[in-house]
Structure 1
């Protein structure tokens, strides 16, 4: 059972939490939203398809930590590439240019942003999914919508195309 109260505690069981199709590709299952943590952090699970890439970007006001639950990603941190397998972690401090590419089918990551000030960006760059929706969402990747949400709400700056060969 899901319990939500920013002034006390938050419990979400496996599979619980609002689900959204992110226009960068992938389904976000929200484990902790900004309003639930009094702005301290955001936490979501991201299920992504093989070969998904992100553009080179920064988060000007938050640190981003990626913990790989399953699969493998290639992370570019300020021009240096690192392969991160299940159980591994990568952290991009605020303002550091970074991007990642999914290297295995079935890849899932936990994404932690501190502080949790970018919720409006993520909401503007995604659409809600019901539990009966296809787990791959609408499948439409639209970086222009991500850029527009970042310009309208902050939280991200797109600084270039994906840096991967």
Structure 2
């Protein structure tokens, strides 16, 4: 059993970075470079109605709602979650989420292993002031660019789900 522990102090950790993507402010809290590639943790603050379209990927993904509420599509099923609720998405499972609330909602997104999702978010996200809580104006997303970048990082984007 490997009992090696890696400790990162605030002095050596990468500074937080925030990007805006599809109505969500994504702040990187634990980067793959800091976790030996084991995982990435991103704090997501999503505007009302914002979220991620249906997709699947080779990495595992987990969500911990911390404020507000989110609706998660897991395969064919929708599930509404509030603060403290956790959702695990196994590799290859089709999923999506959105903020159904009238105010911003927050959650932690954990990707295992670290890297692919982190690099995808960096490739498609618009850099904004770190830790900002102000959503920039959102234009029409460049679906072709998002889909191509997603594929580059092992994420397959799918058509929007039917309304539930």
Counterpart of 2:27 in structure 1 is 29
Alignment of 1:66 with 2:63, yes or no, is yes
Alignment of 1:162 with 2:155, yes or no, is no
Alignment of 1:85 with 2:82, yes or no, is yes
Q: Where does structure 1 lack aligned partners over 5 or more consecutive residues?
A: 1-6
Counterpart of 1:3 in structure 2 is none
Counterpart of 2:147 in structure 1 is 147
2:135 is paired with a residue of what secondary structure?
coil
| Greater mean deviation of Cα atoms: 139-148 or 113-122 | 139-148
Counterpart of 1:4 in structure 2 is none
Q: CA deviation at 1:50?
A: 0.9
1:116 is paired with a residue of what secondary structure?
coil
Q: Hey, what's the Cα distance between the residues in 2 that align with 1:162 and 1:48?
A: 19
Q: CA deviation at 1:85?
A: 0.7
Q: Where does structure 2 lack aligned partners over 5 or more consecutive residues?
A: 1-5
2:158 is paired with a residue of what secondary structure?
strand
Q: Deviations over 1:128-152 (max 9, x none)?
A: 212496721343352513212112x
Q: What is the RMSD computed on CA atoms of the aligned residues?
A: 2.4
C-alpha contact 1:26 1:137 (8 A) present in aligned 2: no
1:66 is paired with a residue of what secondary structure?
strand
Cα 1:164–1:53 change in 2 (3 A) is farther
Counterpart of 2:3 in structure 1 is none
Counterpart of 1:95 in structure 2 is 92
Cα 1:132–1:67 change in 2 (3 A) is closer
Q: CA deviation at 1:21?
A: 1.1
